[in-house]
Amino acid sequence: MSPEWIAISMFFVLVIFLFLGHPLAFVLGGVGIIYGFWGIGPHFVGIVINRTYGVMDNFVLVAITLFILMGNFLTVSGVADGLFRSLRFLLGPVRGGLGLAVIGVCIVFAACTGIVGASVVTMGLLAGPLLIRYGYQKELTMGMVAAGGSLGILIPPSIMLVIMGDQAAISVGQLLLGAVVPGVSLGILYMIYIGVRCWINPTLGPPLPPEEMIGISKSQVIKDALKYALPPLGLIFTVLGSIFMGLATPSEAAGVGAFAAFILMVLYGKFSWATFRDCLYQTAKSTTMVLVIVVGASCFTTVFLGLGGGTALVDGMLGLGLGKWGTYFLMMFILIILGMFIDWIGIVMIVFPIFLPVAKALGFDTIWFVIMMAVNLQMSFLSPPFGYALFYLSGLKIKDVTLAHIYRGVLPFLIIQFIGLLIFTYWPALTLWLPRLMLK
Amino acid sequence: MEASKLEVIIKKIDRVSEWSGKLFSWLVVPLTLLIVFEVISRAMGVPTIWSFELSNFLFGAHFMLVAAYGLLNGSHVRIDLLVNRFSPRTQAIITIINYLVLFFPFVLVILGFGIFYAATSWSMWETSWSTWSPPLYPIKTVIPLTALMLLIQGVAEFIKTICALKNEGVKP
């Protein structure tokens, strides 16, 4: 069999087994082992073990563990609850104001965590029942929680960007900075959408009734908002700032950030040994989930590239004759389709060895291209049938909310994400000005 | 009689994975403190020669040694939207096939070659090339150890599925 056919059959087998529900890490590893013995011979395992050790002995990836730990500390600190409680009174009297509050909290929350689960679940529990009680449309409520909660993986710190930077062998610091503008802009686009739709049709998101506001002191509410927004934002600006100034590597910044997050947790009065232990256990589970996939995927890609599958697909893609932008949109389209079925980490590990050489051959800036992939993968959290945010939300079993509400609700936000992708594609400077400013 | 004996063994394996996972979860604490310590000592102009490598050791050992704990708790991502539509019986059969075709070959190969890899390192008392030159055999032993723990927990999960298949209707 020619390498092209082996490569294609390897992909095919991978996809079949992926859908059979086995953990992704072991599907990647297992398919790699089968094809390795068949196509290369036992000596490839030596390379696989070496690459496994390479994942362990990798200071860039240390940032993953520490960002996850930091996020867990900040999540139990109750920042989201506190901030939402005060923003709700500040913005409540406006049409759609509670929705704006939700996205506002989501942006701050996203700057605290690098993963998606915690923010969707917390905001779903916090805001979902409340907004619906105040007469917000169920679809709109579910859509904003899913979309806002998914910002966690785009707005730095982001686990996805660390993995992407490591896989593409580019500066994680520059990637983190490059994602700031696209991430926050998406949040702002969500806010504009919610604001405009509720302004036109207040039944979708009515203002808080005036009697709710009786006895609420505005200055107290503002003070509360600052109390919950400033410390975590200060923490994140310090973490990103130290990377920006070249004072610390992302991993070091993450370590200091995790330590500072622990102190914040104590200061907010949320420390107890039980909570602390839970944070550690949760961190272990999330970390091993991500990194064991990296190990399994390195087995898969070692074999896949060793068999010449990578070059075959890269050549095939370049040989389609679609031109620079035709190929770009083809790659983005493939990502959207994959995002409907596979989670982000699987996609990154599988397509990076193919897409990056193609992008380089076409003359795209690697930092920009990787961030476009990250923006694109925002859609994978919302796109049915397999989208994490959808699963988390339906798992919450909010009263009177059905899966149909969630599916219908995320649709407009998917469209906004796509528009965002077009905007950042058309104006690369939006993404690149911040990383270019970074001191080297 | 035999089934209950099996159950006892599975419970024991589960307990070992649970406890080892919780124990190794704590490795993240020295990792964090070490990095804070290094940042401070560098700011004071006295960087250490050992903290960089030591933090990699802690990081590598942490995520590897809790992998079996993750398997026990089902925290490894899987795409179950298709298989969830099948009957419990079909699901159990698919799980068994997945373990036999993918999981066990992968883990066994890593275990076998990992033992060889670690043994080579032990046999020459391998140290790293850095100024600090710490021994590398302990961290390299983590690879076969992780594979072994995954294998044992995998066997437990495998038997659970078979038992579920026997007393049909029970979801694994």
Largest CA distance in chain B: 67
Q: Residue A19 is nearest to which of B33, B82, B107, comparing CB atoms? A: B82
Rounded CA-CA distance A340/B81 in Å is: 11
Q: Residue A281 is nearest to which of B22, B31, B114, comparing CB atoms? A: B22
Instruction: Give the best residue of A19, A20, A159, A343 to mutate against chain B (max B CB count within 10 A).
Output: A20
Average pLDDT, chain B: 90
Report helix, strand or coil for A63: helix
Q: List, in sequence order, the alpha helices (H) in A57-137.
A: 62-76, 79-91, 97-110, 117-133
Q: What is the DSSP letter of A152?
A: G
In which band, very low, low, confident or very high, does the pLDDT at B168 lie, cut at 50, 70 and 90? Answer: low
- Residue A397 has a pLDDT of 84
Q: Residue A62 is nearest to which of B59, B95, B117, comparing CB atoms? A: B59
Q: Residue B35 is nearest to which of A252, A262, A346, comparing CB atoms? A: A252
Cβ–Cβ pairs < 8 A, chains A and B: 198
In which band, very low, low, confident or very high, does the pLDDT at A440 lie, cut at 50, 70 and 90? Answer: low
Q: Which two tokens stand for residue A189?
A: 């686009």
Determine whether the interchain pair B110/A29 forms a contact, defined as Cβ–Cβ distance below 8 Å.
yes
Evaluate the omega torsion of the peptide bond into residue B172 and state whether it is cis, within 30 degrees of 0.
no
Place of tokens 């087995």: A299
Determine whether the interchain pair B24/A29 forms a contact, defined as Cβ–Cβ distance below 8 Å.
no
Percentage of chain A beyond pLDDT 90 is 59
Instruction: Give the best residue of B99, B100, B109, B140 to mutate against chain A (max A CB count within 10 A).
Output: B109
Q: What is the DSSP letter of A385?
A: S
Determine whether the interchain pair B76/A25 forms a contact, defined as Cβ–Cβ distance below 8 Å.
yes
- Residue B2 has a pLDDT of 60
Q: List pLDDT tens digits, range B34-56.
A: 999 999 998 898 888 899 999 99
Using an 8 Å CB-CB cutoff, list chain A residues near B84: 21
pLDDT for B172 beyond 70: no
Contact B59, A65 (CB under 8 A): yes
Q: What is the mean pLDDT of residues B138-146?
A: 96
Rounded CA-CA distance A70/A74 in Å is: 6
Q: Which residues of A363-402 are buried (b: 16+ CB within 10 A; e: fewer)?
A: ebbbbbbbbbbbbbbbbbbbbeebbbbbbbbbebebeebe
Report helix, strand or coil for A359: helix
Helix axes A62-76, A117-133, angle to 10 degrees: 30
Report helix, strand or coil for B127: strand
Determine whether the interchain pair A52/B76 forms a contact, defined as Cβ–Cβ distance below 8 Å.
no
Q: What is the mean pLDDT of residues A142-160?
A: 93
pLDDT for B90 beyond 50: yes
Q: What is the mean pLDDT of residues A242-261?
A: 92
Q: Which two tokens stand for residue B63?
A: 């995520």
pLDDT for A2 beyond 80: no
Determine whether the interchain pair A248/B94 forms a contact, defined as Cβ–Cβ distance below 8 Å.
no
Q: List pLDDT tens digits, range A51-101.
A: 999 999 999 999 999 999 999 999 999 888 889 988 888 888 889 999 999
Helix axes A79-91, A117-133, angle to 10 degrees: 40
Closest CA to A346 of A160, A82, A186, A201: A160
Q: What is the mean pLDDT of residues A375-391?
A: 88
In which band, very low, low, confident or very high, does the pLDDT at B169 lie, cut at 50, 70 and 90? Answer: very low
Rounded CA-CA distance B87/B161 in Å is: 14
Report helix, strand or coil for A399: coil
Q: What is the mean pLDDT of residues A103-130?
A: 88
Residue B67: closest CA among chain A residues belongs to which residue?
A: A288
pLDDT for B170 beyond 60: no
- Residue B3 has a pLDDT of 64
Q: What is the mean pLDDT of residues A350-370?
A: 93
In which band, very low, low, confident or very high, does the pLDDT at B32 lie, cut at 50, 70 and 90? Answer: very high
Backbone angles phi, psi at B135, to 5 degrees: -65, 140
Instruction: Give the best residue of A17, A18, A22, A47 to mutate against chain B (max B CB count within 10 A).
Output: A22
Rounded CA-CA distance B47/B37 in Å is: 9
d(CA A318, nearest CA chain B) in Å: 31
The DSSP annotation for B44-111 comes to TT---SSHHHHHHHHHHHHHHHTHHHHHHTT-S-B--TTGGGS-HHHHHHHHHHHIIIIIHHHHHHHH
Report helix, strand or coil for B78: strand
- Residue A64 has a pLDDT of 94
Q: What is the ipTM of this complex?
A: 0.92
A161 CB-near residues (< 8 Å, 6+ apart): A172, A175, A176, A179, A370, A374
Q: Of the ranges A162-166, A246-250, A415-419, B74-78, which one carries the lowest mean pLDDT score?
A: B74-78
Contact A435, A178 (CB under 8 A): yes
Please, which residues bridge with residue B78 across strands? A23
Q: Which two tokens stand for residue B154?
A: 């995998």
Backbone angles phi, psi at A129, to 5 degrees: -60, -35
Average pLDDT, chain A: 90
Rounded CA-CA distance A202/A408 in Å is: 19
Q: Of the ranges A19-28, A189-198, A252-261, which one carries the lowest mean pLDDT score?
A: A19-28
- Residue B1 has a pLDDT of 45
Contact A17, A34 (CB under 8 A): no
Contact A284, B73 (CB under 8 A): no
